[in-house]
Structure formats: structure tokens, C-alpha cells
Amino acid sequence: MDPGEVPIKTILNEKVIIRYYDDLRAAFVSYFRKKYNIDTETISDIYQETYYIVFKKVKHKQLAELSCTLKTYVYSIGSNLLLNELRSKKFLTDNLEKSLESEISLDKDVMEVEEEYIKRTSIINEAVNRLTDICKSIIKMFYWEKMKLSDILFKLPGHQSIDALKVQKYKCMKKLEESVKARFKAEGLT
């Protein structure tokens, strides 16, 4: 799996973080070196510090609430560290500072969107799990497993026809929709 696609919530231990260290390093160094015309040694130092911060947070189980990709998280921390480093060395021009601050702001926006997506998905999963067993089965088989109604009919005894199954699926989806809309409204996600 590409480390840029690894959601933080899947990072369970230090071994996973160590596995992606080299994969992310080359892309990180290349990106910041080209974008900001900074020497490789400085960027490598920033990457080392960034990854150490990520490793410590994983080790101390401080990333449980994050929902962005590992790459996004690493780049966000790296942007902040680079900004601080350049300020301290007085290398920073106004344009470079604005560019870095803009990138940090975009990273935060991306993380907020991903967090909202994860929250919405979680609410939907909870709502599905609160449905009756038959509704839960129908919805999961039809929408998640992409099964045809004829296959679902075969797996679920008690339905005499595809038309009866369609009616049941409609009723289940109506209940799910009402439940999800209510939770979205309560959470301010509408």
C-alpha cells in the first residue's frame, strides 16, 4: 500500500511507522527541496525530526483521533517544522513564508474534510448496526458487497420474491436514512 494512502487510524504500532519511513522520506525531501529550493541536508533533518514526532505520538497512542493519511500528517508537521527552522535561521523571505503558511492552512483544511468524512462514515456505520438483523444483512449485501437482489434472495430465507425483497430493502433504507439524518443534524453535519 502506498504510504500516502495509509489512514492514521490504521497505524497500530511502531512497526508500521518504521516500515513507511523510507517510502515517505524520498518523496518528502524531493517535494520540499523542489518547492522551496532548500538544501537536501536541511530537508532531511526536518524529515528526521518530523518522523520522530510521529513515532512518539504513535508510541504514546496520541493519534487515535486523527483521520488523515500518514503522508498528509507527515507533510503537515514537516511544513510547520520547516517554517520554524527557516524563521530561526532568518532564511525566510516574505514569499516563502506566505507560501508555507498557505500550505499549512491547506493541510488543515484537508484534515478537517477528512475528519468530517470519517465522522459521517462512523455515524452511518453505527446507524446500520442499530438496524434489525434482516435490514443490516440486506443493506450490507446490496450496497457494500454489491450483491444482486437474486443472490441476496437466495441467502436470506423468508422472502418469496425479488419484489418482496425490494420492498424490504426500501423500508430498511428509509429507516436508515431517517436515523442518519437525525444524527447528522444533531452533530451539525447537515
pLDDT tens-place string over residues 54-81:
777 777 766 655 566 777 778 888 888 8
Mean pLDDT in residue range 79-96: 65
Helices (H) and strands (E) in the chain, counts: 7, 0
pLDDT tens figures, 116-128: 767 777 888 888 8
Buried b / exposed e over 51-89, threshold 16 CB at 10 Å, is bebbeebbeeeebeebbbbbbbbbbbbbbbbbbebbeee
> What is the full DSSP assignment across 17-55?
HHHHHHHHHHHHHHHHHHHHT--HHHHHHHHHHHHHHHH
Distance separating alpha carbons of residues 173 and 136, to the nearest angstrom: 10
- Rounded Cα–Cα distance for residues 24 and 51 (Å): 10
Whether 35 shows a pLDDT value over 70: the answer reads yes
Give Cα 103 distance to the centre of its chain: 18
Q: How far apart are CA 171 and CA 26, in angstroms?
A: 52
How confident is the prediction for the chain on average, in pLDDT? Answer: 76
Residue of higher predicted confidence among 175 and 61: 175
Q: What percent of the chain has pLDDT over 70?
A: 69
Cα gap 79→98, rounded to integer Å:
12
Asked whether the predicted pLDDT for residue 160 surpasses 70, the reply is yes
Match 490504521 to its residue by C-alpha cell: 10
pLDDT of residue 109: 55
